[in-house]
Protein backbone atom coordinates (compact mmCIF):
# COMPACT_ATOMS: atom_id res chain seq x y z
CA UNK A 1 0.00 0.00 0.00
CA UNK A 2 1.62 3.23 -1.22
CA UNK A 3 -0.59 5.51 0.87
CA UNK A 4 -2.04 7.14 -2.25
CA UNK A 5 -5.74 6.56 -2.73
CA UNK A 6 -7.75 6.89 -5.91
CA UNK A 7 -11.46 6.74 -6.47
CA UNK A 8 -13.31 5.23 -8.13
CA UNK A 9 -11.48 1.99 -8.97
CA UNK A 10 -13.56 1.42 -12.07
CA UNK A 11 -15.63 3.76 -14.18
CA UNK A 12 -17.73 2.89 -17.20
CA UNK A 13 -19.30 5.67 -19.20
CA UNK A 14 -20.40 6.62 -22.69
CA UNK A 15 -18.78 8.74 -25.36
CA UNK A 16 -19.39 12.44 -24.97
CA UNK A 17 -19.75 12.25 -21.20
CA UNK A 18 -17.68 13.92 -18.49
CA UNK A 19 -16.08 12.20 -15.49
CA UNK A 20 -14.02 13.20 -12.48
CA UNK A 21 -11.26 11.09 -11.01
CA UNK A 22 -10.10 11.77 -7.48
CA UNK A 23 -6.74 11.32 -5.81
CA UNK A 24 -5.62 11.71 -2.20
CA UNK A 25 -1.84 11.93 -1.82
CA UNK A 26 0.23 10.39 0.95
CA UNK A 27 0.18 12.34 4.17
CA UNK A 28 2.78 15.09 3.96
CA UNK A 29 3.21 14.97 0.18
CA UNK A 30 2.70 18.30 -1.54
CA UNK A 31 3.09 17.19 -5.15
CA UNK A 32 0.55 15.28 -7.17
CA UNK A 33 1.05 13.82 -10.63
CA UNK A 34 -1.40 12.31 -13.10
CA UNK A 35 -0.52 9.61 -15.63
CA UNK A 36 -2.48 7.82 -18.32
CA UNK A 37 -1.72 4.25 -19.32
CA UNK A 38 -3.33 2.85 -22.43
CA UNK A 39 -2.41 -0.30 -24.31
CA UNK A 40 -0.99 1.49 -27.33
CA UNK A 41 0.62 4.52 -25.65
CA UNK A 42 2.15 3.10 -22.50
CA UNK A 43 2.46 5.21 -19.35
CA UNK A 44 2.21 8.91 -20.19
CA UNK A 45 2.71 11.84 -17.87
CA UNK A 46 -0.23 14.25 -17.97
CA UNK A 47 0.23 16.99 -15.39
CA UNK A 48 1.88 17.88 -12.08
CA UNK A 49 0.69 20.07 -9.22
CA UNK A 50 2.67 21.30 -6.28
CA UNK A 51 0.91 22.78 -3.26
CA UNK A 52 -2.10 23.81 -5.31
CA UNK A 53 -0.30 25.21 -8.31
CA UNK A 54 0.28 23.66 -11.70
CA UNK A 55 3.96 22.81 -12.01
CA UNK A 56 4.45 20.88 -15.24
CA UNK A 57 2.36 19.71 -18.16
CA UNK A 58 2.84 16.67 -20.30
CA UNK A 59 0.66 15.17 -22.99
CA UNK A 60 -2.62 16.35 -21.52
CA UNK A 61 -5.46 16.96 -23.95
CA UNK A 62 -7.42 20.22 -23.87
CA UNK A 63 -10.52 18.18 -22.98
CA UNK A 64 -8.78 17.17 -19.76
CA UNK A 65 -8.18 19.43 -16.79
CA UNK A 66 -6.96 18.99 -13.26
CA UNK A 67 -6.69 20.87 -10.02
CA UNK A 68 -5.24 20.46 -6.57
CA UNK A 69 -7.30 21.67 -3.66
CA UNK A 70 -6.16 23.32 -0.40
CA UNK A 71 -6.34 19.97 1.40
CA UNK A 72 -3.94 18.71 -1.32
CA UNK A 73 -6.26 16.18 -2.87
CA UNK A 74 -6.49 16.40 -6.64
CA UNK A 75 -9.12 15.82 -9.27
CA UNK A 76 -8.70 15.01 -12.94
CA UNK A 77 -11.64 16.02 -15.10
CA UNK A 78 -12.13 14.34 -18.45
CA UNK A 79 -14.79 15.73 -20.76
CA UNK A 80 -16.24 14.97 -24.20
CA UNK A 81 -14.98 11.46 -23.72
CA UNK A 82 -13.90 9.39 -26.70
CA UNK A 83 -13.33 5.67 -27.07
CA UNK A 84 -9.60 6.31 -27.11
CA UNK A 85 -9.73 7.78 -23.61
CA UNK A 86 -10.29 4.31 -22.21
CA UNK A 87 -7.24 3.68 -20.06
CA UNK A 88 -5.83 3.29 -16.59
CA UNK A 89 -5.32 6.64 -14.90
CA UNK A 90 -2.73 6.75 -12.15
CA UNK A 91 -2.10 9.41 -9.58
CA UNK A 92 1.24 9.69 -7.81
CA UNK A 93 2.51 11.90 -5.03
CA UNK A 94 5.83 13.04 -3.67
CA UNK A 95 7.10 15.35 -0.98
CA UNK A 96 8.86 17.71 -3.34
CA UNK A 97 8.19 18.62 -6.96
CA UNK A 98 10.18 16.80 -9.59
CA UNK A 99 12.84 18.99 -11.11
CA UNK A 100 16.32 18.58 -12.48
CA UNK A 101 18.94 18.10 -9.85
CA UNK A 102 16.47 17.24 -7.13
CA UNK A 103 15.85 13.65 -6.16
CA UNK A 104 12.22 12.68 -6.17
CA UNK A 105 10.50 9.44 -5.28
CA UNK A 106 6.94 9.17 -6.47
CA UNK A 107 4.38 6.90 -4.85
CA UNK A 108 1.67 5.66 -7.17
CA UNK A 109 -1.93 4.91 -6.36
CA UNK A 110 -3.75 1.78 -7.54
CA UNK A 111 -5.29 3.60 -10.51
CA UNK A 112 -8.76 4.19 -11.92
CA UNK A 113 -9.74 2.06 -14.87
CA UNK A 114 -11.89 4.12 -17.25
CA UNK A 115 -13.90 2.39 -19.93
CA UNK A 116 -15.64 4.55 -22.52
CA UNK A 117 -18.33 2.73 -24.51
CA UNK B 1 10.36 10.55 -26.25
CA UNK B 2 11.99 8.47 -23.57
CA UNK B 3 15.68 9.26 -23.10
CA UNK B 4 16.59 5.70 -22.22
CA UNK B 5 17.03 2.42 -24.09
CA UNK B 6 16.26 -0.92 -22.50
CA UNK B 7 15.99 -4.46 -23.86
CA UNK B 8 12.33 -5.38 -24.34
CA UNK B 9 12.54 -8.60 -22.35
CA UNK B 10 14.78 -10.70 -20.14
CA UNK B 11 14.52 -14.04 -18.41
CA UNK B 12 15.96 -15.01 -15.05
CA UNK B 13 15.95 -18.17 -12.98
CA UNK B 14 14.56 -17.91 -9.48
CA UNK B 15 17.28 -17.32 -6.91
CA UNK B 16 19.74 -15.96 -9.45
CA UNK B 17 20.72 -12.33 -9.84
CA UNK B 18 18.83 -10.34 -12.44
CA UNK B 19 20.90 -7.65 -14.16
CA UNK B 20 18.82 -5.16 -16.12
CA UNK B 21 20.77 -2.77 -18.36
CA UNK B 22 19.82 0.72 -19.43
CA UNK B 23 21.46 3.16 -21.81
CA UNK B 24 21.02 6.90 -21.24
CA UNK B 25 23.74 8.47 -23.34
CA UNK B 26 22.15 11.95 -23.42
CA UNK B 27 21.79 12.32 -19.67
CA UNK B 28 22.54 15.78 -18.27
CA UNK B 29 24.84 16.38 -15.37
CA UNK B 30 22.12 17.00 -12.79
CA UNK B 31 19.58 14.42 -13.93
CA UNK B 32 18.92 11.44 -11.72
CA UNK B 33 18.43 7.89 -12.97
CA UNK B 34 15.31 6.27 -11.53
CA UNK B 35 14.09 2.71 -11.65
CA UNK B 36 10.45 1.78 -11.23
CA UNK B 37 8.63 -1.46 -11.82
CA UNK B 38 5.04 -2.29 -12.62
CA UNK B 39 3.53 -5.64 -11.76
CA UNK B 40 0.64 -6.43 -14.08
CA UNK B 41 -1.66 -3.38 -14.03
CA UNK B 42 -0.78 -2.15 -10.56
CA UNK B 43 0.61 1.32 -9.98
CA UNK B 44 4.33 1.59 -10.69
CA UNK B 45 6.55 1.00 -7.69
CA UNK B 46 9.70 2.98 -6.97
CA UNK B 47 12.81 0.81 -6.69
CA UNK B 48 15.90 2.99 -6.50
CA UNK B 49 17.55 6.08 -7.92
CA UNK B 50 21.04 7.51 -8.25
CA UNK B 51 23.05 10.39 -9.60
CA UNK B 52 26.70 9.38 -9.86
CA UNK B 53 27.52 6.85 -7.20
CA UNK B 54 26.34 3.28 -6.97
CA UNK B 55 23.36 2.84 -4.70
CA UNK B 56 21.92 -0.07 -2.75
CA UNK B 57 18.72 -0.50 -0.80
CA UNK B 58 16.67 -3.40 0.48
CA UNK B 59 15.23 -4.07 -2.96
CA UNK B 60 18.11 -3.66 -5.39
CA UNK B 61 21.46 -2.22 -6.33
CA UNK B 62 22.09 0.42 -8.97
CA UNK B 63 25.40 0.56 -10.79
CA UNK B 64 26.04 3.72 -12.80
CA UNK B 65 29.01 3.90 -15.15
CA UNK B 66 31.57 6.59 -14.58
CA UNK B 67 30.51 8.52 -17.68
CA UNK B 68 26.86 8.15 -16.55
CA UNK B 69 25.80 7.00 -20.00
CA UNK B 70 24.48 3.67 -18.78
CA UNK B 71 23.38 1.89 -15.65
CA UNK B 72 22.43 -1.56 -14.43
CA UNK B 73 19.76 -2.50 -11.95
CA UNK B 74 20.62 -5.62 -9.99
CA UNK B 75 18.07 -7.74 -8.19
CA UNK B 76 20.42 -9.97 -6.18
CA UNK B 77 18.14 -12.98 -5.66
CA UNK B 78 15.20 -12.81 -8.03
CA UNK B 79 11.92 -14.38 -6.97
CA UNK B 80 8.76 -15.15 -8.91
CA UNK B 81 7.23 -12.00 -7.42
CA UNK B 82 9.88 -9.92 -9.21
CA UNK B 83 8.27 -10.71 -12.56
CA UNK B 84 7.29 -7.26 -13.81
CA UNK B 85 8.02 -4.50 -16.31
CA UNK B 86 11.06 -2.52 -15.18
CA UNK B 87 11.40 1.10 -16.25
CA UNK B 88 14.65 3.03 -16.31
CA UNK B 89 13.95 6.78 -16.33
CA UNK B 90 16.15 9.82 -16.59
CA UNK B 91 14.14 12.50 -14.89
CA UNK B 92 14.15 16.19 -15.52
CA UNK B 93 10.83 17.83 -14.75
CA UNK B 94 8.73 14.75 -15.48
CA UNK B 95 8.99 10.99 -15.34
CA UNK B 96 8.94 9.90 -18.97
CA UNK B 97 8.27 6.18 -19.09
CA UNK B 98 9.54 4.22 -22.07
CA UNK B 99 8.52 0.68 -22.90
CA UNK B 100 10.70 -0.82 -20.17
CA UNK B 101 12.04 -4.35 -19.83
CA UNK B 102 9.69 -7.21 -19.12
CA UNK B 103 11.51 -9.44 -16.65
CA UNK B 104 10.24 -12.99 -16.39
CA UNK B 105 11.45 -14.97 -13.40
CA UNK B 106 10.86 -18.69 -13.58
CA UNK B 107 11.44 -21.60 -11.22
pLDDT at A41: 77
Rounded-to-integer distance, Cα A17 and Cα B52, Å: 48
User: What pLDDT tens digit does each residue of chain A (117 aa) get?
Assistant: 889 999 999 999 999 999 999 999 999 999 999 999 998 778 899 999 999 999 999 989 999 999 999 999 999 999 999 999 999 999 999 988 776 566 778 999 999 999 999
In degrees, rounded to 5, the angle at the alpha carbon of residue A72 between the alpha carbons of residues A68 and A77 is: 30
pLDDT at A32: 95
pLDDT, tens digit, 9 for 90 and up, residues B35-76: 999 998 899 999 999 999 899 999 999 999 999 999 999 999
Asked if A108 lies within 8 A of B44 by C-beta distance, the reply is yes
Give A104's contacts in chain B (Cβ within 8 Å). Answer: 32, 91
Q: Which of A39, A43, A57 to mutate: most B Cβ within 10 Å?
A: A43
β-bridge pairing B84-91 and B101-106: antiparallel
Give B31's contacts in chain A (Cβ within 8 Å). Answer: 100-101
Asked if A111 lies within 8 A of B44 by C-beta distance, the reply is no
pLDDT at B95: 83
Q: B6: distance to nearest CA of chain A, Å?
A: 15
Amino acid sequence: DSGVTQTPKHLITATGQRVTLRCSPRSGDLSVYWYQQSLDQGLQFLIQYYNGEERAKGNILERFSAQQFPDLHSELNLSSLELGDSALYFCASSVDPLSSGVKNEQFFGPGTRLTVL
Amino acid sequence: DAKTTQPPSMDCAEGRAANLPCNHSTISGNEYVYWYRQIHSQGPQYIIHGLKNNETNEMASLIITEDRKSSTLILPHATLRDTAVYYCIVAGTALIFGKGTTLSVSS
